Amino acid sequence: MTFADFLAASPSSYHAVGEVAEYLGERGYILQHELDAWNTNPGGHMVVRDGAIIAYCLPQNITNGVGSFRIVGAHTDSPGFKLKPHPAHTAHGFEQAGMEVYGGPLLNSWLDREFGLAGRVVTTWFESRKVVTGPWFRIPQLAPHLDRSVNDSLHLDQQTHLLPIWAMAGAEPDSASGLMKALAHLADCEVDEIAGHDLFSYIPQPPEVFGLNSEFLAGGRMDNLTSVYAGMVALGEATGKGYSGHSVPVLACFDHEEVGSSTRTGAAGPFLETVLDRIVAGLGMTTEETHRTYAQSWVVSADAGHSVHPNYPTMHDPDERPILGGGPMLKVNAKQHYASDGLGAALWRCACEEAGVPYQTFVSNNAVSCGTTIGPITATRLGITTVDVGVPLLSMHSAREMCCPADVDGLSKALAGFYTM
């Protein structure tokens, strides 16, 4: 599976988790249900919790105890819009859909662009069903004839200006509930059997390779499916053919990073800690042995970062200028918005050099605030040494972002090396 294939197959966090589970399942990983007794047999295991997945491989000599964990963390969600519980809205002859802004998207990138919904519908008997619509929606922009200042200062009110059109009013009987009827049809249930839903905007347009030398890739949700894909491939490569290393490689793909991570499937929740606790408990390790294991473990927090923008160079640090195609980045911030420190820098350099992968460093301009990642959150929860890395992007948080696939491949190779260090 190429990265472009993975992007196209993962329009929501639920679909991305399904793709990771299928990929690893084909490589011998077995599903661990949280209600079942914990399986500590050697080999690959994976735990799915809604839009998050944690996969790990217990080595053949696992009966001797866990020497350390090698954890790669990423997130499955992306900025955009989420469908409101009761989305029906009619205005001036148009049927529109009520949606909330999710995370911090580049709002203008969703204008005049056909998009769909993807995610899950939950039935009255608590069954989750994945759903993907076609290009049903569009947010038309006001013409410049009606707003002469639009090219100088575009302002979008999040409540009134971002309601997408999806039908003409009165196009069918009881059209106010037509959207939910259409979603029920896709979920293969009746509309009154839908008890809830988690449906997010996505761009149906497939990823596109472009550029004179075909070195670029454009597509949705690269932040942070670049890292999810790279971690998935790395785990499969590192643990194939009977893994017998001294550490336990782990891939933790969390949901809800774009809205703060404070959920049961987010990095600020207990999901990863619970899985690690159940592994060491199942192996009969004492609290003392567990703390020793954590003390020699590592976390690589993998999240997309910024390439220098050729049209806005002053927004970047004048000396640290990572570019597309230059390899994955070490992400550093003195305020600890990224968890990297000197130890992490040494680890990442070693992983990249062992894999033969070029690498770069990202440091934010002092006058420009940077984002943050799951790295500091995970380090705070577990006390495990953590380093932040990622693939450089342009148009981050746009409906369609831009990367070099070579960087994704490089990240995957470096992460595979990290797993087996």
Clarify whether residues 185 and 297 are in a common domain.
no
Q: How far apart are CA 74 and CA 231, in angstroms?
A: 8
Q: Answer yes or no: is 406 within a domain.
A: yes
Task: Tell me the residue type at 211.
Answer: G
Clarify whether residues 187 and 325 are in a common domain.
no
Q: Domain total for the chain?
A: 2
Task: Tell me the residue type at 149.
Answer: S
Clarify whether residues 116 and 164 are in a common domain.
yes
Q: Answer yes or no: is 300 within a domain.
A: yes
Both structure tokens of 225: 């499916």
Identify the three-state secondary structure at position 111.
Answer: strand
* pTM of the model as a whole: 0.96
DSSP string, 323-380: -TTS--EEEE-TTSSS---HHHHHHHHHHHHHHT---EEEEB-TTS-----HHHHHHH
Identify the three-state secondary structure at position 314.
Answer: helix
- Residue-level pLDDT at 176: 45
Q: Answer yes or no: is 207 within a domain.
A: no
Clarify whether residues 44 and 84 are in a common domain.
no
Clarify whether residues 85 and 43 are in a common domain.
no
Q: Answer yes or no: is 33 within a domain.
A: yes
Give the angle 21-4-252 at the CA atoms, nearest 5°.
35
- Residue-level pLDDT at 266: 97
CATH of the domain at 413: 3.40.630.10
Q: Of the candidates 38, 73, 67, 37, which has an alpha carbon nearest to the alpha carbon of residue 52? A: 73
Domain edge (last residue) among 142, 170, 202:
202
Q: Which residues are CB-contacts of 32 (< 8 A; sequence separation ≥ 6)?
A: 38, 39, 45, 46, 47
Clarify whether residues 18 and 68 are in a common domain.
yes
Clarify whether residues 239 and 367 are in a common domain.
yes
- Residue-level pLDDT at 246: 85
Cα separations in angstroms, 64 against 58, 67, 244, 291? 11, 9, 12, 16
Identify the three-state secondary structure at position 89.
Answer: strand
Clarify whether residues 257 and 377 are in a common domain.
yes
**Distance in angstroms between the alpha carbons of the first and the last residue of the chain:** 26
Class of residue 216 by CB neighbours under 10 A (exposed 0-12, middle 13-18, buried 19+): middle
pLDDT average per 10 residues of sequence, the chain (421 residues): 97 98 97 96 96 96 82 98 94 94 97 98 96 97 91 91 92 65 94 96 97 97 98 95 88 98 97 97 92 96 97 94 97 95 96 96 92 94 96 98 98 96 86
Q: Answer yes or no: is 211 within a domain.
A: no
Q: Answer yes or no: is 212 within a domain.
A: no
Clarify whether residues 294 and 159 are in a common domain.
no
Domain edge (last residue) among 202, 231, 259:
202
Q: Answer yes or no: is 210 within a domain.
A: no
419 CB neighbour count, 10 Å cutoff: 27
Domain edge (last residue) among 168, 202, 236:
202
Clarify whether residues 189 and 310 are in a common domain.
no
Clarify whether residues 233 and 304 are in a common domain.
yes
Q: How far apart are CA 110 and CA 82, in angstroms?
A: 13
CATH of the domain at 157: 2.30.250.10
Q: How far apart are CA 171 and CA 182, in angstroms?
A: 13
Q: Which residues are CB-contacts of 361 (< 8 A; sequence separation ≥ 6)?
A: 320, 322, 329, 330, 331, 332
Q: Answer yes or no: is 213 within a domain.
A: no
* 114 within 8 A of 204, measured Cβ to Cβ: yes
Helix and strand element counts for the chain (H, E): 9, 20
- Residue-level pLDDT at 171: 59
- Residue-level pLDDT at 15: 98
Cα 16–chain centre separation: 8
Clarify whether residues 158 and 59 are in a common domain.
no
Give residue 270's domain range: 3-77+220-419
Strands 385-390 and 298-302: parallel
